[in-house]
Structure 1
Amino acid sequence: MLGKIALEEAWAIPENFKAYDVSSLAPKGVIGGDLIANLLDVHGTRLEQMDENGVEMMVLSLSSPGPQGVTDAREAEALASLANERLESEVGRNPTRFAALASLSLHDPAQAGRELRRCITERKGFVGAIVNDFQSAGPDRNTMLFLDRPECDAFWRVAEELDVPVYVHPREATPLIYEQMWKDRPWLAFSALGYAHRVGMHVLGIVTAGVLDRFPGLKIVIGHMGEHIPYDLYRIDHKLNRARFPQMPMAKDKLVRDYFGTQLFITTSGHFSTPALLCALQEIGAGAIMFSIDYPFESIPNGCVWFDDHVPINGRDLVDIGRNNALREAPHPLQYK
């Protein structure tokens, strides 16, 4: 399919590596070339591979953990502002091929809302925001600030008003949780399992806290074919027993599945499995799914060949997933097909 739009595509600035050295995630040659070099690149190899594989646009975002990995509030805000300034410049060099998700510090939700508003209304090229799971805080980096805390309504209110999606992306665990859960099984701590566990809990926490009910225009996106949530929807809804949990703030007449396609969306980033996609289609529908690659942590050719040649769905759903849903939920001057 020509004209694909990819939503979860990483980019970096050298200052971001102070929070987390991503080079350990994939030594040279594991994915293709040098991971750090590919993160820093926008208009070279990345664009060449987009042209070769029918990707018309990439929506770029600062690589994880970004500001969420910075425990000092002022330093986190400064990193977000710097990244947004540089990303605006990169996107501005080729605005028909690239767009941006704004980085935000979540120490102060009201400040995060102001930075998002500035990016959407004063800067160019931004179509939404990205948050890398919880915000680290505290002297030992073990305090986790989540987006379902009541004071975060100040941020959600702005995102709804601006009508832009918020992408909830994974990050590494805190030192304490890593020590208790993952130290003896480090191969499970990241993409294989830990990312999905943590983001799934966070997003379901947001939903069951009633955030989507208080802000019915809010849109949240999660990657990696939904971080396991679509395949557990029956059990999730079945076990959110209102008799057992009468204090749960989520609307009493709603199931979690009811939010998909209007307020909750998933992408295919880094999860190029046809059976998994077909399951997601049956559970949440084509309108809730958007194509993504997860470059440079995943291969552009691998993701595109899978989607173009190995996804047996009708043409309308293919184009909606590959392009139209992204334009609908994160508006951009590009045209629908």
Structure 2
Amino acid sequence: MLYKIALEEAWNFPKGESLGGFQSASLAPKGVIGGDLGANLLDVHEQRLQQMDENGVEFMALSLVSAGPQKVPNREGAEKLALEANNALSADVMKRSERFGGLCSVSMHDPVQAAQELERCFTELQGFIGCILNDYQSAGPDGNTMLFYDGPSYDTFWAAAETLDCPVYLHPREATPEIFDKMWKGREHLAFSALGYANRLNMHLLGIITAGVLDRFPKLKLVVGHMGEHIPYDLYRIDHKLNRARFPDMKMRKDKLVRDYFGSQVFITTSGHFSTNALLCAVAEIGVDSCMFSIDYPFESIANGCVWFDEYVEASINARDLVKIGRGNALKVFERLAAGIHGLEDKSPAQCEVGGLKNGEGEVEFGMYNKSFEKREVRKVL
């Protein structure tokens, strides 16, 4: 499929590590994740853009690599990292605003200050289409205090996001030192993207939903990656077990289930989770309008994610739904994509070269899997 939009794509800037941000050497030795992970995070307009061109990705939303300001327990340090990252990201995406946009970062130590930084990014800087929060905010002298955003004190931030029509992308991060020692010591291989990331973030998202945040701010939109951080596949049990007689004080609207927020206020992306069966399950549970394409570059391969989507997913769903997931839904959720500096437009399946006549290859008849009328040309699968 041509003209794909990718939404969870990591980026870093030269000062990021010195300001307390992601340390590229901390995740894995050089060469384990896509060659030089640190260099790939810094690159925007060279190898990244070339791979986008080679794989039919028209647009990427870039965001400061996790955990960003959420990892900095000192308030002043977290706010400084967010401010400098946002300034640098705006400058980077505006070099090619027709190909890149940004998700701004904020410190969540103080919801009032977070709202102010969000407003600065959306009204004073250029190129931002949304915001990213990397799960809980670390705080306290030892970094073990965890600030979550489902309480009323964070309504100031959520109100600003709703007013600015700023979708908020919730992204996972590592555990605090204390939690890591208590839960993951001896099983470190499970602490990160294999299990721990999803288990922590899905709790936070469900906490926000069941605390009534989306009811208080009905135009607020939340996005989570990695095929929904396990939530779509547990929705029956989640809705079944949130028994209103058992939990009468739960603040979520009494006439709604968690599944009812998907497609209008909650959305998922495919970032780093290239399973066709999982996507089909998500579509069945939460609807095709809830699902969007993403890659998770440079932690995942652009080519691998695109081959999966273009070949395997295309063979499994209808052309209209493929284009919705690959492009159309992103334009509806992130409304700034269609505005001025980005100027992205809806595309039909034919324009995306999905499911129709491919006139550029000289085809004039739909459905000719074997080009020759008389002789089989496609390799037989043994």
What TM-score bracket applies, with the shorter chain setting the length? over 0.9
Give the 3-state SS of the residue equivalent to 2:345 in structure 1: coil
In structure 2, distance between residues paired with 1:72 and 1:187: 28
1:7 corresponds in structure 2 to 7
Deviations 1:275-322 (A, max 9, x none): 000000000011000100000000000000000000111111111100
> Is 1:322 aligned to residue 326 of structure 2?
yes
Identify if the C-alpha distance between structure 1 residues 6 and 234 changes in structure 2 by more than 3 Å, giving closer, same or farther.
Answer: same
Give the helix-richer structure, 1 or 2. 1
In structure 2, distance between residues paired with 1:284 and 1:23: 38
Point out where structure 2 has 5 or more consecutive residues left out of the alignment: 338-342, 348-382
Give the 3-state SS of the residue equivalent to 2:59 in structure 1: strand
Deviations 1:244-299 (A, max 9, x none): 11000000001000000000000000000000000000000110001000000000
1:163 corresponds in structure 2 to 165
Give the 3-state SS of the residue equivalent to 2:62 in structure 1: strand
Identity of aligned residues (%): 68
Aligned residues: 337
Answer yes or no: is the 8 Å Cα contact 1:212–1:263 preserved in 2: yes
Point out where structure 1 has 5 or more consecutive residues left out of the alignment: none
In structure 2, distance between residues paired with 1:82 and 1:284: 37
Answer yes or no: is the 8 Å Cα contact 1:104–1:115 preserved in 2: yes
Deviations 1:24-83 (A, max 9, x none): 323333232200000011001100000000000000000001000111111111110100
Q: Shift of residue 125 of structure 1?
A: 0.6
Q: 1:105 aligns with which of 104, 107, 116?
A: 107
Q: Could you tell me the TM-score, scaled by structure 1's length?
A: 0.98
> Is 1:300 aligned to residue 310 of structure 2?
no
In structure 2, distance between residues paired with 1:62 and 1:323: 22
1:313 corresponds in structure 2 to 317
Q: 2:58 aligns with which of 43, 52, 56?
A: 56
In structure 2, distance between residues paired with 1:58 and 1:49: 12
Root-mean-square deviation (CA, aligned residues, Å) is 0.9
Task: Report which of the two structures shows the higher radius of gyration computed on alpha carbons.
Answer: 2
Give the 3-state SS of the residue equivalent to 1:326 in structure 2: helix
In structure 2, distance between residues paired with 1:159 and 1:137: 23
Structure 2 counterpart of 1:59, one-letter code: A
Give the 3-state SS of the residue equivalent to 2:73 in structure 1: coil
Matches within 5 A, 1:261-280: 261-280=263-282
Give the 3-state SS of the residue equivalent to 1:244 in structure 2: coil
Give the 3-state SS of the residue equivalent to 1:102 in structure 2: strand
Identify if the C-alpha distance between structure 1 residues 48 and 171 changes in structure 2 by more than 3 Å, giving closer, same or farther.
Answer: same
1:153 corresponds in structure 2 to 155
